[in-house]
Chains A and B, each alone.
Chain A
Amino acid sequence: MNLLDVTRRHFFRECGIGVGKMALAGLLADSLGRPASAGSVARTGPLAPKSPHFPGRARAVIQLFMAGAPSQLELFDHKPKLAEIEGKPIPPEVIGGQRYAFIRPDAAVLGPQYRFARHGESGAEVSEVLPHLANVVDDIAIVRSCRTDQFNHAPAQIFMNCGFAQPGRPSLGSWATYGLGSESDELPAFVVMSTGAGISGGSANWSSGFLPSVYTGTRFRGAGSPILNVDSPAGADMRLADETLDVVARLNRRRLAIDGDPEIATRIASYEMAHRLQTSAPELMTLADESAETLALYGCKPEEASFARACLIARRLVERGVRFVTIYHEGWDGHSDVAGNVRGNCQKTDQGSAALVADLKRRGLLDSTLVVWGGEFGRTPMVEASAVLGRSKGRDHHPNAFTMWLAGGGIRGGVTHGETDELGFHIARDEVHVHDLQATILHCLGLDHERLTYRYQGRDFRLTDVHGHVVKGILS
């Protein structure tokens, strides 16, 4: 038994981070004064790549989270009937006991605010405020029959991400990286970006909950360096960073030899990884190597934070082996002037979202990248208006029916799945509950949502709790 064996076993067993093969081999060689056999130490630790339960089509996920809840009735779910009966209430028997945030159940119906048309070979119906998405409808599956249990933003966002409405459980991205590990030595496995306003559910949306904290989403800031503290202190340079890392590593290796705690080896590897992040993060964010044509496709400026730029960075992250990327765009909460709200948000997000699908496709990445677009719930067929709150022609929160779309890795393009009733109030066919969506996303990654479990407080927890069915109808 020697220290190298122990350390290697430790890495296999319980180490804290994924480690580059060479880095680890190198540090062990240094610490012991003799070369380690490079092939013997694989990438290990909780972020090491892991085999899926079955071969998955998607290797990565880009989640475009439309926080605030877009109006499906202005975007995807065309309900001419609402125009016909505009101004009249919905029959109470349709509404049942549904609770609302702001409106009364007897509020009048509001007709669709935009015209719809069919597009592509699939003839998918989307509204006029999505001109860019209309160009890629044959690559996406539109699910018009989504349903959630929650009708307030924070709980619903957390529910969409974590399968549970209160903070404290692991998020989708955490489960995915827990299940599959990372394919990047240089970047975090789970990256979170945001545009628009602050997010109702806050950091609970990318929390690792009770999973080890290495699975927490790493938030990229919109301005400045993306990762907190990735910049060396003012006045420093790269050589200083190298030399500092060097002296720290030397002293840590000495300590490892004395104390024998394999965690010290992990610490050394963490610093190596940190050092790589300092190089890879700026490279990632510099869009100088993107062509003018690509920038035009997304409609973004290289230096200016925007949703479209975040989409382009998401593509770059996926190219570099990042497992899960979420972009939050908060601002869809159209309690008043839903038409203006939808138009404004589409101007910010339509081109970027569609460009992401098109760009991934032409680079051959769409087959292995799952793109998921949607909010935390839908909006009411009824109007929201209130003199006290200064609101008119808005729509309230509607958990019973809303629309999302998915594309790429494992998803059949050109599909429109599910249907709502003629008022867009309830789901009429092929309901897709949030837990079903989660099961489907994991399925695309090759993970069985019933087998992806974690033992916590005496119980094997799942993202989908005791629910969830894979939505076969949208799989390719």
Chain B
Amino acid sequence: MKCRPWGPLVAVLCEFAATVAIAAGPDFAHEVRPILSNRCFKCHGPDEGNRQAGLRLDVREAAIAELDSGARAVVPGHPLDSEIVARITSTDPDLVMPPPHTKVTLTADEKRILTEWVEAGAEYRPHWAFVQHKRPAVPDVRDAKWPRNEIDRFVGARLEREGLAPAAEADKATLCRRVFLDLTGLPPAPVELDAFLNDPAPDAYERLVDRLLASPRYGERWARKWLDLARYADTNGYEKDRERQIWPYRDWVIRALNADMPFDEFTIRQIAGDLLPGATTDDIIATGFHRNTMKNEEGGIDPLEFRYLAMVDRVGTTGATWLGLTTACAQCHTHKFDPITHTDYFALMALMNNADEPEWLIPGPENDARLAATRRSLESAWAALPGRWPATASGPAPEQLAGSSDAPPLPLDPVAEEGRRRAGLAARFDAWNRQESARAIRWRIVQPDAMTTNLPHLVLRADGSILASGDITKSDVYTLSLPPSATPVRAIRLEVLPDESLPDHGPGLCNYEGPKGDFFLSEFEVAAGDERLKVAKATDSFAGMAAHSKTTSTAAATIDGEMSSGWSTNGDQGRAHAAVYALAEPLPPGVPLTVTLRFERHFACGLGCFRLSVSDMEHAEAHGAVAAVEDVLVKPEAERTAAERELVFHGFLSLAAELEQPRQDIRKLEAALRGGQRSLVLRERPTDNPRKTFRHHRGEYTQPKEEVAPATPAFLPQLPADAPANRLALARWLISKENPLTPRVVVNRQWQAFFGRGFVPSVEDLGYQSEPPSHPDLLDWLAVTLRDDLGWSMKKLHRLIVTSATYRQDSTATPALVDRDPKNVLLARGPRVRLEAEVIRDGMLKAAALLSEKMYGPGVRPPQPEGVTEVAYGNPKWNPSTGEDRYRRSIYTFQKRTAPFAMATTFDGPTGEACVARREVSNSALQALTLLNDPMFVEIAQALGRAVMAADPDDGARLAELGRRVLSRPFAADESQALLAYLATQRARLAAGDLDPVKLAGGESPDVVERAAWTLVARAVMNLDEAIVKR
């Protein structure tokens, strides 16, 4: 991809390059900019709206320019002439900077640094992260034997500069456990551990790494990290927090990572897979990344406000995930620190804002087979329907047809019964046919010559039906102009029609809070010119059906002038209905009509598909029969074809009250036809209905200002001029060679995953406010290598990291080293970090041989203590899964946003409410209680106890087995001694009945005391610090 050259920054950078000369003075990037950024930029930075005294300190030429006051903030080389120095050192509360009311103060050290910087020439340097990387030279190290690859030469050179030496390599068992945990999120099973320990080949470790990278467990492990960024969850969030279907996206991530999809493709598909030429089903599912935003279904919300908030989330998440920029800070105003303007923010939003957000039915052989099978069942059900006609002695009178049937008990003689059944059916059909034919109305479909709405997009189709799409509101109005009629108009018919593009196939557009596919027509108005025409009577086919005879939402409610009442066909989604409006006075030929449809409820509920017809016949009323049947019914019997007669009979069967019960099966099958597996995706909007993006004053939804065109932030490379500025362009730009940020962000995040800390600890923010990188050259070397040499392969990057000597170091920390480098920034030892919630649970399951390797599919519910979910809206219950679903990997745990899985929350797991680039690692009493007492862990301890008992009859051997399962090592002598003493004590207490062995072991068995004793030992070992850390 070719990008236009850099924006204004290029010029600025060239200037910097020309002026880099002075060596003395504080380092701008490390010492000066952090002070300016933290203390000054808020009022003297990029944000024009908030800039004080016209002074801007983030750009050198502005800082040294003469101000309105005549002073100069910075006079390079002359601190005494520089206003900035005068102000920061002033003791006058009216003059001192920062001013007292900001409650920001400079330390003496900070004042000194700024003064020395001015004295040394006040040089600026470009921010490292915004500068295009070039591959740094790999340094030499004195100890040439230590490095295993380039990473080690960077790390080693730094250690040598610091006067430190790397730690020795970790022992084989420790290393095996570490790399298992890192690459697969699981500890090694004893047999896997032994295979490695007993492999004397010099490349045993490298081959182990390759095996782990090829394991399906790798994708599950790394997908979890990606899902933190994607803010994945299985519910919508906010009050109702209903279940959603987006797990196919989660599965896509797992598959993509297992297949080692290069990160550039991985990016493009998730941002814009639907826009790829020849997009596959998988490409479209991948766009679920940005459908993981929350959706508010609370009563009475403004749906577009929450759609806007979802867009805000998308901009912030894209910034954190790919750019390492806190783009979210520019929602309300120009960024206070980084060079992102308020308009830049909305230009970035505009790039992503032109998509519809359907619940997409996943096509494919599975869906085809499901549809075919359901259709076959439906056909049989229809064919069998006449046979289910009740065998009453004689049919009820035709006029009772629409009413309920009180059939007398069936007689006993089967032959006579069948005869009566057929005779009854024939008589009833005959009567119905005559009655309906007599009152059928001849309709003429009219196609509007103009259609306007407040927002939804209407498209007229060849058959005269109108399909709505796009954004909807709680108060939608469709205005349709009908051309003059050649005949008088006595009645208007509004057909509401199903369509596969609509939620639950329509006929309505309702897609949140209310019933999917519902509509609510509050008012139907018809006018000739300015004159509102009086409707004498409004009837509808829905209320005309026996099952809905009690509904108050009838067509009559659409002409009562009351917006809170109206017509709906809820409960009959996927089926056509019609409302008929008989005019009080016939309209003469040649007069154009205007029909206005008003939809208003506490949720958005416009019509999705409909059609208008007119008739010049009198006594027009809606009956149950759909339009196609009525069109036949108006014909004399003799003129009807065989197919038309079949259609009429079918219409009868679908309405006859006697078949109400048997028809329930058909309704279920029809609902199944509309079902199928869906996933939330993005779909670019049609070219005739693009969505506009505006700058919102103070970032508020209710304050849209000028329209903003899609673009990337002005200080970064721009999009190519020769392609549409859309999501696909954004996606390609994110991973383009011109973008200096993405590879750095990706590499930094991977480093964090292995070492517990990124080169820059704020992995979501590489901007001015971030700490300078600990190993800038290694970061850039890895970034360039990943992009240019490794083809964005994450597996290759991971292999490079875990095969380095740096990674393979022992993690033991001497007191001196802890004091010197408590956070292990310099990497003079291996990583030692507490495991994530999922790894803790999955690892324990594996140790107990309970872990199911079943992959993919809907979320499952492992057991958790009672009362966790009840606090959420509606007091939902958590019914634990049974069978192997109880023991699936945690990535498959059902994620409810308002009441997340308790154990995960306790161990700092995400809620899915916001993009998380770096999890907190806490250490709390609640964690201890969870591991000790959570019924899930007690169940695991019981299974683990049984597993070690099965391994060997000897206590010592059992204990060794336990150590190998949980800690990947047998216990040392003093540890064994302590644990065996504990075992002996508890065994005695269990045998004596002081403790209840049946309860502790989880059930009766002949060896229940032993089981209970080993449960307790297993539980103790599971509670060791070492059991939940990577070391």
Q: Give chain A interface residues in 263-293, CB to chain B under 8 Å.
A: 263-264, 266-268, 270-271, 273-274, 277-278
Cβ-based interface call for B986 (8 A): yes
Cβ-based interface call for B890 (8 A): no
Residue of B nearest to A396 (CB): B300
Residues of B within 8 Å of A277, CB to CB, are: 925, 929
Contact B301 A152 (CB under 8 A): yes
Cβ-based interface call for A70 (8 A): no
A248 in contact with B241 given A233-B938, A274-B932, A387-B552 (CB within 8 Å): no
Contact B922 A235 (CB under 8 A): no
Cβ-based interface call for B762 (8 A): yes
Cβ-based interface call for B738 (8 A): no
| Interchain CA distance A17-B822 in the complex, whole Å | 18
Contact B1000 A244 (CB under 8 A): no
Partner of B996, one of A1, A200, A203, A234: A234
Residue of A nearest to B520 (CB): A388
Partner of B815, one of A3, A387, A397: A3
Cβ-based interface call for A347 (8 A): no
A167 in contact with B911 given A228-B902, A248-B1023, A270-B925 (CB within 8 Å): yes
Residue of A nearest to B1025 (CB): A267
A 203-216 to B, binary, CB cutoff 8 A, 1 in contact else 0:
11001000011101
Cβ-based interface call for A37 (8 A): no
Contact A17 B925 (CB under 8 A): yes
Q: How far is the CB of B1012 from chain A (nearest CB, A)?
A: 7
B 292-308 to A, binary, CB cutoff 8 A, 1 in contact else 0:
00101011111000000
Q: How far is the CB of B932 from chain A (nearest CB, A)?
A: 7
Partner of A232, one of B241, B553, B933, B975: B933
Count of B residues near A, CB < 8 Å? 114
Residues of B within 8 Å of A199, CB to CB, are: 871-873
Contact B602 A102 (CB under 8 A): yes
Contact A457 B762 (CB under 8 A): yes
Residues of A within 8 Å of B868, CB to CB, are: 228
Cβ-based interface call for B908 (8 A): yes
| Interchain CA distance A152-B985 in the complex, whole Å | 58
Q: Give chain A interface residues in 12-28, CB to chain B under 8 Å.
A: 13-17
A 74-112 to B, binary, CB cutoff 8 A, 1 in contact else 0:
000000000000000000000001011110100000000
Contact B867 A213 (CB under 8 A): no
Contact A457 B329 (CB under 8 A): yes
Residue of A nearest to B941 (CB): A233
A16 in contact with B923 given A101-B300, A229-B934, A458-B762 (CB within 8 Å): yes
Partner of B812, one of A222, A243, A260: A260
Partner of B926, one of A155, A228, A252: A228
Q: Give chain B interface residues in 835-856, CB to chain A under 8 Å.
A: none
A243 in contact with B300 given A203-B911, A388-B564, A457-B326 (CB within 8 Å): no
Binding site secondary structure of chain B: loop
Residues of A within 8 Å of B313, CB to CB, are: 166
Residues of B within 8 Å of A151, CB to CB, are: 300
Contact B564 A202 (CB under 8 A): no
| Interchain CA distance A223-B1029 in the complex, whole Å | 34
Contact B296 A223 (CB under 8 A): no
Cβ-based interface call for A135 (8 A): no
Contact A213 B920 (CB under 8 A): yes
Cβ-based interface call for B533 (8 A): no
Partner of A100, one of B296, B300, B986: B300
Cβ-based interface call for A143 (8 A): no
Contact B309 A166 (CB under 8 A): yes
Cβ-based interface call for A428 (8 A): no
A388 in contact with B552 given A16-B923, A233-B938 (CB within 8 Å): yes
Cβ-based interface call for B399 (8 A): no
| Interchain CA distance A263-B702 in the complex, whole Å | 48
Q: How far is the CB of A215 from chain B (nearest CB, A)?
A: 10
Count of A residues near B, CB < 8 Å? 99
Q: Which of B552, B811, B873, B876 has the most CB of A within 10 A?
A: B873
Cβ-based interface call for B832 (8 A): yes
Residues of A within 8 Å of B1016, CB to CB, are: 240, 244
Cβ-based interface call for A303 (8 A): no
Residues of A within 8 Å of B329, CB to CB, are: 457-459
Stretch of B78-86, B200-208, B537-545, B766-774 contacting A (4+ beta carbons < 8 Å): B766-774
Residues of B within 8 Å of A207, CB to CB, are: 911
Contact A198 B301 (CB under 8 A): no
| Interchain CA distance A207-B914 in the complex, whole Å | 12
Partner of A198, one of B815, B875, B905, B995: B875
Contact B928 A155 (CB under 8 A): no
Cβ-based interface call for B729 (8 A): no
| Interchain CA distance A267-B835 in the complex, whole Å | 13
Contact B871 A194 (CB under 8 A): yes
Residues of B within 8 Å of A262, CB to CB, are: 818, 822
Q: How far is the CB of B995 from chain A (nearest CB, A)?
A: 6
Contact B566 A388 (CB under 8 A): yes
| Interchain CA distance A15-B817 in the complex, whole Å | 18
Partner of A270, one of B600, B866, B924, B975: B924
Contact A219 B871 (CB under 8 A): yes
Residues of B within 8 Å of A118, CB to CB, are: none
Contact B818 A236 (CB under 8 A): no
Contact A248 B553 (CB under 8 A): no
Cβ-based interface call for A231 (8 A): yes
Residues of B within 8 Å of A273, CB to CB, are: 925, 928
B 1016-1030 to A, binary, CB cutoff 8 A, 1 in contact else 0:
100110011110010
Partner of B1024, one of A97, A235, A255: A255
Residues of B within 8 Å of A389, CB to CB, are: 602
Cβ-based interface call for A254 (8 A): yes
| Interchain CA distance A197-B1025 in the complex, whole Å | 39
A200 in contact with B873 given A152-B300, A457-B328 (CB within 8 Å): yes
Contact B929 A16 (CB under 8 A): no
Stretch of B146-154, B247-255, B622-630, B892-900 contacting A (4+ beta carbons < 8 Å): B892-900
Residues of B within 8 Å of A252, CB to CB, are: 1024-1026
Contact B985 A243 (CB under 8 A): yes
B 233-244 to A, binary, CB cutoff 8 A, 1 in contact else 0:
000011101000
Contact A261 B928 (CB under 8 A): no
Contact A235 B924 (CB under 8 A): no
Partner of B929, one of A255, A264, A274, A397: A274
Contact B302 A244 (CB under 8 A): no
A458 in contact with B769 given A228-B865, A233-B938 (CB within 8 Å): yes
A101 in contact with B900 given A213-B908, A457-B765, A458-B770 (CB within 8 Å): no
Residues of A within 8 Å of B925, CB to CB, are: 17, 270-271, 273-274, 277
Residues of B within 8 Å of A251, CB to CB, are: 975, 978-979, 1024
Cβ-based interface call for B531 (8 A): no
Contact B336 A222 (CB under 8 A): no
Q: Give chain B interface residues in 675-719, CB to chain A under 8 Å.
A: 702
Residue of A nearest to B764 (CB): A457
Residues of B within 8 Å of A2, CB to CB, are: 815
Residues of A within 8 Å of B291, CB to CB, are: none
Contact B296 A152 (CB under 8 A): yes
A104 in contact with B563 given A267-B1025, A270-B924, A270-B927 (CB within 8 Å): yes
Sorted nearest first, the 5 A-B pairs with minimum C-beta distance are A101-B300, A202-B898, A235-B999, A458-B769, A16-B923
Enumerate 15 A-B pairs (CB-CB under 8 Å) in ascending A order. Answer: A1-B819, A97-B702, A227-B929, A228-B934, A229-B865, A234-B1000, A239-B994, A244-B1019, A247-B978, A254-B975, A258-B812, A260-B814, A260-B817, A261-B832, A457-B328
Spell out A's residues near B (CB within 8 Å): 1-3, 5-6, 9-10, 13-17, 97, 99-102, 104, 151-155, 166-168, 188, 194, 197-204, 207, 212-214, 216, 218-219, 221-224, 227-237, 239-240, 243-244, 247-248, 250-252, 254-256, 258-264, 266-268, 270-271, 273-274, 277-278, 385-389, 396-397, 448, 450-451, 457-459
Apart from A263-B1025, A396-B300: 15 A-B pairs, beta carbons within 8 A: A3-B815, A6-B819, A152-B298, A153-B298, A203-B900, A227-B929, A228-B906, A235-B996, A260-B817, A262-B822, A266-B923, A270-B924, A271-B925, A273-B928, A459-B337
